[in-house]
Every structure is written in structure tokens, then in C-alpha cells.
Structure 1
Amino acid sequence: MGAAKSQLILGQILQSSSTQYTIIEFIGYGFFGKVAKCQVNSTSELVAIKILDTFQQDVEDELSMLSKISVLDPDQFNLVKFHERFEYSSYTCYVFELLEMDLVQFIETKMGDSIYVNQIRPIAKQMLVALQGLKSLGIMHTDIKPDNVMLVNTEKDKFHVKLIDFGLAIPFSSATQGELLQPISYRAPEVILGLPYTEAIDMWGLGCTLATLYLKYNLFPVRCEYLVMKAMVEYLGMPSDDQLIFGMRTKRFFYTRRILKSYQGEGE
């Protein structure tokens, strides 16, 4: 059996090939592991280190995406700045610039209420620039949600934001019809129905994110995909017959026999 994994603690030093980082505070947790606020010992600069519990293929996938995205100016395209990746003990660590808070925290701690349209507008504009940059590289983020949009520094600029977390990003060329992507309440209808999809699904995720800022609650249900589709039909109307016929997952949500007969009859 392998050696037991050491537990990371405050004050511990993480060592890369060129830099020592001291853990100051743990600021985020997820299924992937945790995020630590760290200090660069040589410069006293503060950074955020995403610490992954185990080596997995998606670790390499994320590194591949970050490497491709690094050709873009992170400040110009409103993307989190990536510094380096290194291995420490049995952990994989990604070092990023330290941002202040995500949009969920921002609403809860700074606003106390939903954000006005004139305050949402600059956030929307910056995220559209970010998506434009990803599109130029043929990359889909696939995980646009309020948790993954972060304020940089509210004291300097209250609504300056950046897009984070490329752990689920994929190239356009890897898009697979029927694959489930995006959080449920931010999932585009073409993904739910199992239709071919494009980078437009990120625009859908952004739209749902902006609606959440305004409403202060999710536009669509967060746990049940069936209820999400039900709400979409109520808000936007029924999908077209073509979409229902060719959706790989349509039968999960709709009774299609009558539509199919009608469709076949028109083709005769």
C-alpha cells in the first residue's frame, strides 16, 4: 500500500521547482479538492492555489486548456491569470492570481439585494469579451455560472470581473452530441435534448447567470432536469418538431409518437 496522504495545514509551505508558497487560509472547497490563499515567500505576493486531491485525467485536460488560453492577455480578455502548475507530495497544484470573491458572495455580502441593470451591464460586457476570446481559440467553457465569475478588487473597481475554473472546458472539436454538460439550472436546451451543440451553450449559461444577478434566484430549477425543461417550455414555448425528433434525449421529457407520425407523414 502507498503512503498515507499528508494533511495540508495553515502555515505549511508548498514547494514548486522555483517558488515557495505559504498557506495562509483555505478559501474554497469542492469535489476536486480545495483552494488556498497563499503567500509567495520571496515577494510576499498573494496568490490562489487550487489543490487537487488526486491525479486524474481531467487534471491533464485542465492543464491543456490553461496552456491554450495562456496565449490571450488575461486582463484584456477578463480571464483569471494562471502562473504555474506543480506537484507537491501527492497533490497537483495550480497557481492563479488571487481574486476577491465570486458573484454569489458579492450579492450576499456587498449588495444585500439584486443588482440593478446598469450594474449588470458592465459584468455582461466583460464576460462577452471573455467568451469572444475563448471562441477565437475554439474553446467552450461549459461551466458558466455565478460561482465561476469573480470580482477582482471591489475597492478599485466594484464591477471588474474575470472568468475562472477551466476544469470542464473542452475544444469545439471534442463536442459530442448527447453528452451532458453545464450545471442543471444553466444547461442549454440543446444539451438537455441531446441535440448537436456549439459554443452558443456558453452564451446560454451567461444569460442564466445574468438573470440570477437580477432576480437573486436561479431562473431555472437547480436539481431536476425535467423541471428545467418544463420551465423552458412555459417561458419560451415548445421546441420545434425537428428538435424533438432528432434530440437523443427527447423521450426523457416529451411523448413523441404523435410528432414522429406527423413528421413521417410529411416526408411521404
Structure 2
Amino acid sequence: MSSWLSSAASGASETLKAPDVVAGQTLYSSCCGYSVLEFIGEGAFGKVAKCLNLTSRETVAVKIMKKDIEFIQDIDDEVTMLNMISVLDSDHCNVVKFFEQFDHMGQTCLAFEMLDCSLYDLLEERDWRPLCLHEIQAVAQQLLVALDALRGLRILHTDIKPDNVMFVNRQDRPFSVKLIDFGAAIPASEVEPGMMIQPTGYRAPEVSLGLPFTESVDVWGVGCILAFLYLAENLFPVDCDYQMIKCMVQVVGQPEDHVLSAAQYTPCFFIEEEAGESTTWRLMTPEEFTTASSMKPEERNSFIELPGSLDDLVNIYPEGKAADSEDRRIFIDMLKGLLHLDGDQRSSPCQALQHSFFTRSHPQEI
């Protein structure tokens, strides 16, 4: 399935019918026609078609939204975000290029540049063989540039994950990537504590706990993506919120007691206990979580032995040249900044780009 609608597909309902558009048909906007070549993705919101722009002769991707009143506000919100980011130089800022919105038979259509496969597709294609550090460096640099541009517009993407980072053209431009899917993006002015955003496994701790948050939640998402590329495995579980929190506590530490006391959702995962003249919080056991939530945590299955801390990453896949261990330590130090528990102390995209992981004299040797 195409990454264009991967997030929508997860919520697809059997009662929703796909748009009645077929290959060979031409969709007309006010300025050109789009000949439908084939469909490359489908989800709850509709389909994505690979089309030929009959005026420019360029191949483009057209997202054809379902004619359903349930999604009208979502469509309007996505178009608003796309129009806001359209002021950016999409190639320089590494975000998908949005061409236009038009209607076809009462259905909203969104035309984008045609991209290649996603980061998730790449790992699957490689039989889950991790990327080299110089490849990770290229992806990381472009994503941080994208986040810096969005930060300048005061926009949160909120759906940073491997499916939503796509290659431009792997044959001609290896490891040139762009951030896609702004369907869940929100202006920073609309952020409220307690909003549930971001996918499980890529969700910042302040969001999981119901604390105030900023654009730094997207930095956390990028950190999780880089760990995914390094491990060829998700750093934090993606199928269970409890297991995600448990793994987060293990790998990056437990938030301080005063932070947990101020958070809305702390009692969903932690228990407060007496500790002398004060109280302290501890993570629930799986059994306690089941009792409190009536949900049994899903067991995590992994093909590799996952790290007990970020520092442990240096011992994973240690084979390579003599300098490899030091290169890995530099990468992990940069990653720690992206995955800081405190969103206010987390590296900003601009700060991260100044790290020696990116500024060393011979990055091609990493």
C-alpha cells in the first residue's frame, strides 16, 4: 500500500465505498486534466491515483477523497495546512510539493508531486537490514531541515513515522527524501494539553502523559525514525501504549515525580506510592495495568535484542571498520538530544543540525 494513505487505511471501515473513479478516466481541474494511469493506495479517506498531467506531461499523485460528510472538516483542515506550507520551497525544505485542490463529481482531489517508496518500504525491501550511518545522516539532515521550516511557520506535523517519509527518486537521487501527509498537522496556536496526537511508538512522552507540548514533539518523532533506521526495528512498541511507556522508561528514563504529578494521564500508566514523608510514582506492572484499564498489554515480539538504554545502541551491529564505534557514539549522542524526555530541553532542529554528527570534516566516512 502506498504511504500516501497508510495512516488513513488503518481506520478504514468496510461500510465506506471507494470513489467511483477508474483507470483511464481524466480528472479536470480549472487549469489542466489528469489522466488516471493506476491506483497506488487506498484508505478510509479515499484513493491515491498515479496520474499524467496532460498539460505539463508530468506524472503526479492525486489524492481522491471520498464524498462523505464525516470527512469534510478533516479535508478542509488538510487543505488549510497544505496551503500554509505551500509558501515553502518544497525542494529546499524537503516537504512534499502540493500543486492544487480541485473537485471531481463533488469529490475533493489533491494533486501532489509523484514520489518514490517510503522509508518503511525501503527497510521491508532490504529484508530489514539496517541503514549505514552515512545513509541515516542524509535522511536525518533533510528531516531536520523540514522540521525547522515547519517550526518557522508554527506548524506541527504530528504524524512523523517511517511511512510518511518518502524518497524523491532513488534511481537519480539516492537518499533524497521528503516529508508527506499533512492530514494531521495543526497550527501551534491550536495546541492543547491532553490532545492525543502522534502514532503509538512515535509519540512524545509529554503527549502520552497529557502535558503541555510544542513543535518539539515532531523532533521526538524524527528521533524514533532514526532509531528505526539504525535498528531496522521500532525503538518503542507500536501496538500497545503501555508497552510503549514501559520501554520509554527503560530506554530514556522515567519522568521526574513532579512532572508525573502534573500530567493528566499519569494514573493510566503509573501508581503513586508513599515514600517517607512524600510520595513517588512507579510504573504499573502489566497485571496492574490490566486491572486498571481492562486491557491486557500486548507482548512485544522483536527479531533483535533491543537496547536497555540509548548508550547500549553502540553495541548493536558493532561490525565494521575500526572507527565505527566512535562514529556510533557520535550518532547516539545526537540521538539523545532528539529523544530527551523533557520537550523544553530536547534539541531544536537547528541545534541538532549543528551537532558533530552532521558537521564532521568527512561525513562520507561515517
TM-score normalized by the length of structure 2: 0.68
**Length, aligned pairs only:** 261
Deviation at 1:111, TM superposition (A): 7.2
Work out which of the residue numbers 192, 196, 199 in structure 1 matches 2:215: 199
Tell me if structure 1 keeps the 8 A contact 2:34–2:52.
yes
Tell me if structure 2 keeps the 8 A contact 1:187–1:205.
yes
How is 1:49-198 mapped onto 2 (pairs within 5 angstroms)? 49-53=62-66, 54=68, 55-109=71-125, 113-198=129-214
Work out which of the residue numbers 241, 248, 262 in structure 1 matches 2:278: 262
Tell me if structure 2 keeps the 8 A contact 1:5–1:90.
no
Change (3 A) 1:5 1:230: closer
User: Which amino acid in the other structure matches residue 31 of structure 2?
Assistant: S
Tell me if structure 2 keeps the 8 A contact 1:50–1:94.
yes
Question: Residue 223 of structure 1: SS of its match in structure 2?
Answer: coil
User: Which amino acid in the other structure matches residue 254 of structure 2?
Assistant: M
Partner in structure 1 of residue 30 of structure 2: 17
Deviation at 1:103, TM superposition (A): 0.8
Give me the whole-angstrom Cα distance separating, in 2, the residues matched to 1:164 and 1:26: 18
Deviation at 1:66, TM superposition (A): 0.9
Give me the whole-angstrom Cα distance separating, in 2, the residues matched to 1:56 and 1:30: 15
Partner in structure 1 of residue 265 of structure 2: 249
Question: Residue 204 of structure 1: SS of its match in structure 2?
Answer: helix
Change (3 A) 1:6 1:59: closer
Work out which of the residue numbers 209, 231, 235 in structure 1 matches 2:247: 231
Change (3 A) 1:111 1:118: farther
Of 18-27 and 186-195, deviating more is 18-27
User: Which amino acid in the other structure matches residue 173 of structure 1?
Assistant: S
Q: Which runs of 4+ in 1 moved over 6 A?
A: none
Give me the whole-angstrom Cα distance separating, in 2, the residues matched to 1:258 and 1:179: 30
Tell me if structure 2 keeps the 8 A contact 1:185–1:219.
yes
Deviations 1:33-59 (A, max 9, x none): 221100012232100011111351011
Structure 2 runs not aligned, ≥5 long: 1-16, 281-366
Give me the whole-angstrom Cα distance separating, in 1, the residues matched to 2:271 and 2:181: 38
Work out which of the residue numbers 19, 22, 31 in structure 1 matches 2:44: 31
Tell me if structure 1 keeps the 8 A contact 2:150–2:156.
yes
Deviation at 1:257, TM superposition (A): 4.9
Give me the whole-angstrom Cα distance separating, in 2, the residues matched to 1:6 and 1:47: 18
Question: Residue 161 of structure 1: SS of its match in structure 2?
Answer: strand
Give me the whole-angstrom Cα distance separating, in 2, the residues matched to 1:27 and 1:60: 23
Give me the whole-angstrom Cα distance separating, in 2, the residues matched to 1:82 and 1:109: 27
Deviations 1:20-76 (A, max 9, x none): 111111112222222110001223210001111135101111111111111111011
Question: Residue 256 of structure 1: SS of its match in structure 2?
Answer: strand
Give me the whole-angstrom Cα distance separating, in 1, the residues matched to 2:30 and 2:57: 18
Structure 1 runs not aligned, ≥5 long: none
TM-score normalized by the length of structure 1: 0.92
Whether 1:41 aligns to 2:54 is yes
Change (3 A) 1:111 1:161: farther
Give me the whole-angstrom Cα distance separating, in 1, the residues matched to 2:90 and 2:111: 14
Give me the whole-angstrom Cα distance separating, in 2, the residues matched to 1:232 and 1:193: 12
Deviation at 1:215, TM superposition (A): 1.1
Question: Residue 64 of structure 1: SS of its match in structure 2?
Answer: helix
Partner in structure 1 of residue 228 of structure 2: 212
Work out which of the residue numbers 214, 226, 237 in structure 2 matches 1:221: 237
Deviation at 1:89, TM superposition (A): 1.2
Give me the whole-angstrom Cα distance separating, in 2, the residues matched to 1:247 and 1:110: 41
Deviations 1:77-131 (A, max 9, x none): 0111100001111321100000111111122225762111111101000000000
Deviations 1:197-235 (A, max 9, x none): 111100000010111111111111112111100111111
Of 21-30 and 200-209, deviating more is 21-30
Give me the whole-angstrom Cα distance separating, in 1, the residues matched to 2:82 and 2:168: 19
Give me the whole-angstrom Cα distance separating, in 2, the residues matched to 1:219 and 1:134: 25
Give me the whole-angstrom Cα distance separating, in 2, the residues matched to 1:63 and 1:109: 32
RMSD (CA atoms): 1.9
